[in-house]
Amino acid sequence: MRKHGTEIVAVALLFASAVAATQFVKKSAAQESKPAPTVDSRDSKAQERRKQELSKFMREKLEASSDVLEGLATEDFKLIASGAKRMQRLSAAEKWQVSNDASYRQFSNQFRRIMEQLETKANEKKLEGAALTWIEGTMTCIECHKWVRNTIIAEK
């Protein structure tokens, strides 16, 4: 029975991650297809550079997420732990800090704590605990991205 529960968690994680990645890619493509407002060419180039850097950073986050998910699906605890550690490092990066708002800081701090817990669960070789922690982390990502879209981006 325990093995069956693990398979269900793995399938749910795969589905949730695939949905989240698909939505990110669709949103990125939609944003890239929007015509840029006319501005000074220097500003335009700087904005484009920042946009490319942010896109690269977001890809790094997705790659670390994929490592965690792969580790969960294959019971590779080293891969889970390294993905969680990488997410901790990324979440402390300056590029992560898109706002100084109290709500955003709370989301970021919560995410870092969850990734620390995930790393601990992986090091303890607790698959179900790691899977549930990853789901909590994924939900935090989704809620934060939703908040950023509705608050930060809406203000621009």
pLDDT tens digits, the chain, 156 residues: what are they?
455 555 555 555 555 555 555 554 455 445 544 454 455 667 788 878 877 887 888 899 899 999 999 999 999 999 999 999 999 999 888 767 777 888 888 998 999 999 999 999 999 999 999 999 999 999 999 998 898 888 877 665
150 phi/psi in degrees, rounded to 5: -80, -20
Residue burial 44-76, b: 16+ Cβ < 10 Å; e: rest: eeeeeeeeeeeeeeeebbeebbebbbebbbeeb
Helix axes 127-147, 102-123, angle to 10 degrees: 160
Domains and CATH numbers, the chain: 2-32+46-155 (1.20.120)
Length of the chain counted residue by residue: 156
Report the distance separating Cα 67 and Cα 84, nearest Å: 9
At 8, list the tokens: 């269900």
pTM of the model: 0.69
